Structure 1
Amino acid sequence: MEYNQQMMITTIITMLQTAVCKAMAKEDPDDVLFSFIDSIGRFLGAKSAFLFDDMPLHFYCWTNQGMKYDNQRVIQKEVRHILRTWMKTVAQKGEPVVIPDVDVCPDLVPSMRQSMDEAHIHNLALIGISMPGNRIGAISLENIPPENLEQAGELLRLGSSFLLMMLKNRGYIYQLRHHSFIDQMTGVFNRNAFNAYQQHLACQGSMGVLFADINNLKQINDEQGHASGDRLICHTASVLFKYRHGGEVFRIGGDEFVVIWKHIEELDFQQACRQIRKHLYLQDLNISLGNHWVPDVKDGIAPVMKIADHHMYEEKRRYHKMQVSR
């Protein structure tokens, strides 16, 4: 028996080493987690796995068809609180919990058991992970072949430190991304964020784009000083952000901004653009605007941007023509 136990641990350690190496070869921190969970899920023959990470709340769901963000599993607020409290207790013990049959487990309150029944979970192996800042992480491997339940508990005990490392690493990368994607002067997204947004944009669904360009910024800088120009840029950004109505605001140049709406109806888009124009006028901000909407962005964002940019420059030319005529 002792020899078999040692053989099982050796096999699990070898598998974990391979899984970690494979996962850490990924660039995106979510892909790191996905890869690791995929490896251990397939190793155990589990039907699904559920990764929980709170503050902010993340749910990742793995099945043998692949990994995804879980948009289907809805956990009610009161159940979520009970679940988090239970996971915190499990994390403090530092040991995995193996439940061969959720229907008869005395540790599960009725609301938790009902939630698991609705998710078609019959058995599970779970371990809670204490994280910095009183955060709790946990992973459960679900509907495991009964003969692999002992293996599942040992795997979670040995693998939880790797999972903690990956979760921490994801947090650090998210924090760095946030700082590298935020324009330090205005607080809206910057050009780096805009480039990343275009790169990862799913080419489907409706989209609206609004270009905004500050008129006479160079003249203001020259005549009133760069501090006045900076205040004008920040004021423009604050109006765009306040009245964006679900759009994403990017500062893509010194005096250029773009607001992008995904999955928006044309009437709602036009209304949002009118609201922005109105409030820029009320704030006495001299901005040229151009906008364009498409029902499907299947050809990518570039054509939409080009037309919105063209409309903005048409408005800017009309403005300068009026200035000259005066």
Structure 2
Amino acid sequence: MNFDSLLSLYETKACIVSIDFYEDDTYGNIRLLAGNKAHCDDMAAIGHPFVPNSPCEDYFPKNRNFEDYCFRCSRSKKPLHAYVELYTMGLWLNMFLIPIESDKPNTGYCIYVYDVSPKVDSAAMVDLSGDVASEVLKACVKLRSSNDIKKTFQEVIEDIRSLCDSEHCCILLTDSETRSCDILGDALKKGTKLLPMSNYMEGFYTITETWASTLGGSTCIIIKDQHDMDELHKQNPVWAESLKGAMAKTVVLFPLRFDNKVLGYMWVINFNAENTIKIKKTLELTTYFLASEIANHLLLKKLEVMSSIDSLTGIKNRNVMNIHVDQVVEGNKPMPAAVLFVDLNGLKRENDEKGHSAGDKMLCTAAKILQKVFRDGDVYRAGGDEFMVMIPEIAEDEVEKRIQQVHEVAKAKDIHFSIGACHGGKDIRKAMHTADERMYADKNAYYEAHPEEKYR
């Protein structure tokens, strides 16, 4: 067969791929038999001149998904297209596989036409069949039109599970800093014997850590039959055993990447293997948009935390305190049974004599004491060395007991508080004013008893 004559018709990079078939419907050697001028020039440009009839991995990174595409194309005699991110190289690959007639009974041939670029091509990305594009569009519309992001993600993965005809679909977020996982959505087919992901969460982060090496630069992991599962067991026995225990026979797993960071993973288990290519294309594009939405969700969540949590002590800040007070004034929240103002005595002296790091440590310890004692209330850092506590339901004598408990715990840590409380008030602002006045009276009494201490 005159491959060179055939390849000369292609102006973009193209080469002839051969793949050996086995009787058990698996494949063996994959070789690059010939390449056109564009392909040879490309190989020469990266310092690796092309030699015809060479193993495929001599020129392209070994990738089981690419091998499977070559196998399916040459075996089924159907053309295939894929547009994938080569994230390890910072490139996007647009590839076409076209089957050609073989002159050997156990060997298939296909033309591999490809192009790479550093930027995503939206036109290539959406070059999908109508039904696949419809499913992806439906997911995007749902995500963009929702105010309840977690509920919407649950609906999206229900749709994905149904599309893949799988028994299980899950989106799992991972946090490398805390070494933890969080389920964003989990869908199970009605009547399945598979268990929800919540049953496997304990210690599961250690399994997710193994996925990066198993992916090995691929955009996804596809386990479509027992042969693939056996190969996975050789490469990643820990995960393979976990899948076996979960009664998984087929799996597609995609990392959710955004800005070169893995935010988590999405997978389907026990899907219809006859639709592997369609499932891969659908999930490939869907995860691209899902990752963007998840990144936005996590950013908003982070900003929400930053706007509501005091960065030093980790307790609620003045902004949230004011919102809570306004909601009580407007009648959207009930009047708390008790309001307390708490001042940390001696912070200025601690800062002056030992430095601000010591003062910061003192503030953090004070916040922890208040959180521990008033565990059934809301503790806020009102500003500087002042804290405010609102307790929804508590008896007046219990408030006094708690105040005494605060003093006892604080004394053991060489910390001193001035505390003022108002119980049973009907107006939140009047209660705050009363508690503040009583706190200052307590503070004046403290400094009268300890004149050696610098005020504030």
In 2, are the aligned partners of 1:130 and 1:137 still within 8 Å (CA)? yes
The alpha carbon displacement at 1:104 in A equals 3.7
- 2:230 maps to 1:105: yes
**In 1, Cα distance between the equivalents of 2:239 and 2:423?**
49
TM-score normalised per structure 2: 0.47
Relative to structure 2, which stretch is displaced further, 241-250 or 278-287? 241-250
Indicate which of 155, 178, 181 corresponds to 1:58.
Answer: 181
Q: Indicate the residue corresponding to 1:251 in structure 2.
A: 380
State the alpha-carbon separation in 2 of the partners of residues 285 and 85 from structure 1.
Answer: 50
For the residue of structure 1 that corresponds to 2:420, the secondary structure is: strand
Distance 2:223 2:247 in 1: 17
**2:171 aligned counterpart, secondary structure:** strand
Matching residue of 1:85? 210
Conserved 8 A contact 1:52-1:137: yes
Q: Contact 1:249–1:258 at 8 Å: present in 2 too? A: yes
Letter in 2 for 1:93: S
Deviations 1:221-267 (A, max 9, x none): xxx9xx99xx9x98995344223349486327565523789xxxxxx
Change in Cα spacing, 1:41 to 1:253, as seen in structure 2 (3 Å) is same
Structure with the bigger percentage of helix: 1
Task: Spell out, residue by residue over 1:34-73, the C-alpha distance to the aligned partner (whole angstroms, 9 max, x if none).
Answer: 333232122223222122332253332512479xx95321
Aligned-CA RMSD value: 5.1
Alignment of 1:156-305 (within 5 A): 156-183=283-310, 187-190=314-317, 193=320, 211-214=339-342, 238-243=364-369, 244-245=371-372, 247=375, 250-251=379-380, 253=382, 255-258=386-389, 275-280=405-410, 282-288=414-420
Cα distance between partner residues in 2 of 1:176 and 1:186: 17
1:10 Cα shift? 2.1
Conservation of the 8 A alpha-carbon contact between 1:46 and 1:142: yes
Q: How many residues align?
A: 277
- Contact kept, 8 Å, 2:378 with 2:390, in 1: the verdict is yes
Counterpart-to-counterpart distance in 2, 1:185 and 1:83: 32
Q: C-alpha separation between the residues in 1 aligned to 2:229 and 2:157?
A: 27
Residue in 2 that maps onto 1:124: 251
Within 1, Cα distance between the matches of 2:197 and 2:132? 27
Q: Which residue of 1 aligns with 2:130?
A: 10
Higher relative contact order (CA 8 A, sep 6+): 1
Q: In the alignment, residue 310 of structure 2 is paired with which amino acid? A: D
**Does the CA-based 8 Å contact 2:256-2:287 persist in structure 1?**
yes
User: Could you say what secondary structure the match of 1:71 adopts?
Assistant: helix
Check 1:75–1:284 CA distance in 2 against 1; reply closer, same or farther (3 A cut): closer
Gaps of 5+ in 1: 200-208, 218-223, 262-269, 293-305
CA distance in 1, matches of 2:279, 2:293: 19
Cα deviation 1:275-326 (Å, max 9, x = unaligned): 533234552321135899xxxxxxxxxxxxx9xx89x96x959x78x98xx9
For the structure 1 residues 180 and 274, does the alpha-carbon distance in structure 2 shift closer, same or farther, using more than 3 Å as the test?
same
Q: Alpha-carbon deviations, 1:133-177, whole Å to 9, x = none?
A: 753522111122344444322211222211221221122112211
CA change 1:102–1:22 in 2 (3 A) is: farther
> CA separation in 2, counterparts of 1:93 and 1:287?
60
CA contact (8 A) 1:124 1:141 kept: yes
Letter of the 2:406 partner, please give it.
I
The residue number in structure 1 matching 2:264 is 137
Shift of residue 20 of structure 1? 0.9
Q: Is residue 123–residue 143 contact of structure 1 (8 Å, CA) maintained in 2?
A: yes
Larger radius of gyration: 2
Residues 258 and 149 of structure 1: CA distance in aligned 2, closer, same or farther (over 3 Å)? farther
> Structure 1 283/104 Cα, relative in aligned 2: closer, same or farther at 3 Å?
closer
Letter in 2 for 1:258: V
Shift of 1:95: 4.1
**Displacement, 1:13?**
0.9
Q: Separation in 2 of the partners of 1:87 and 1:188?
A: 36
Alpha-carbon distance in 2 for matches of 1:122, 1:291 = 62
> Which residue identity does 1:49 align to in structure 2?
C
Residues 134 and 44 of structure 1: CA distance in aligned 2, closer, same or farther (over 3 Å) = closer
The structural deviation recorded for 1:2 is 5.4
Query: Higher strand proportion, which one?
Result: 2
* Residue type at the aligned position of 1:285: F
Q: TM-score, normalised by structure 1?
A: 0.62
User: Structure 2 vs 1, CA of residues 211 and 160 (structure 1 numbering), >3 Å: closer, same or farther?
Assistant: same
